[in-house]
Amino acid sequence: MLLKILLVASLTGFGCAGNSKAGAVDQSGSSKNPEVAFVKAGTFDMGISGGEFDEGPVHKVSLSDYYIGKFEVTVAQYKRFALETGRPMPKQPDWGGKPDEPVVNVTWTDASDFAKWLSEESGEKYRLPTEAEWYFVATDGGKTITYPWGEGNPSANIADETAAKKWASKYWKGTDDGFAYLAPVGSFDGNSLGVHDMGGNAAEWVSNFHYEFSAEKQDDPLGPKKGKNKVFKGGSFRTNAWYSRIAQRNFMPVTFKQDYLGFRIVKQPKTQTD
């Protein structure tokens, strides 16, 4: 487990790629709240066999209805939160920080506080997605796929030929997504649920502590109430194929932050309670 944590902390030398582009979506701040997509309740297989120590066993998970952000939270959206609450804006990389790019260098606490503020400001119930909710959307509603884009060459912002010209020593050869670093959210095609960038661009914090899976079926799993590390998912513009798999589980303390790590939000239906 310690080896895995050390590997996650040093991802800056690794890479993969993306090549199917959509038109970048305007998330520069014109929309007051993040756009969300409805995810209908369902049951699916979570986890894999033969992966890393914490990626199995495969187990059934049932989820209730929820809404998830179509895009990662942007710099512009987070900046509004920072301005209205008087908290410091996380320093964005010199090569990043554009209004329509995902905000990065945020801790788990930063991301959770954003969701709490958005709930108070909007009257809706926002929070970070659970790992199971994130997994279900990344698999496009429970499909048996390795990556959020399916199989084969990626359609996502992962380290590629463009990144190799700037910084990447390990990358997905023969693929060029046109971005060496972060891309505007929505630059690549979304899945059938209308959700973008579940693989690549920025990795994403989820709500729960890291824990070991069991073979027992779970309903709306929240994870343990206590723990040392929170999970983040999805790979980023810095990750290679292995770290871009849906099953890959990265985890770090709530104070951890990096230039490849951001988040997206979930909105609960009004009929649901905590």
The DSSP string of 167-183 is T-SS--TT---S-SS--
Task: Look at residue 74 and give its three-state secondary structure.
Answer: strand
Q: The whole model's pTM is what?
A: 0.89
| Distance in angstroms (rounded) separating the CA atoms of residues 106 and 262 | 6
| Distance in angstroms (rounded) separating the CA atoms of residues 227 and 210 | 7
pLDDT digits (tens, 9 = 90+) for 142-186: 999 999 999 988 888 886 767 777 876 677 677 778 898 999 999
Question: What is the sign of the dihedral through the CA atoms of 29, 31, 18 and 261?
Answer: positive
pLDDT digits (tens, 9 = 90+) for 5-37: 434 443 433 333 334 555 455 554 445 789 999
pLDDT digits (tens, 9 = 90+) for 82-138: 999 999 999 999 999 999 999 999 999 999 999 999 999 999 999 999 999 999 999
What are the structural domains of the chain? 2-267 (3.90.1580.10)
Task: Look at residue 262 and give its three-state secondary structure.
Answer: strand
Identity at 198, one-letter amino acid code: M
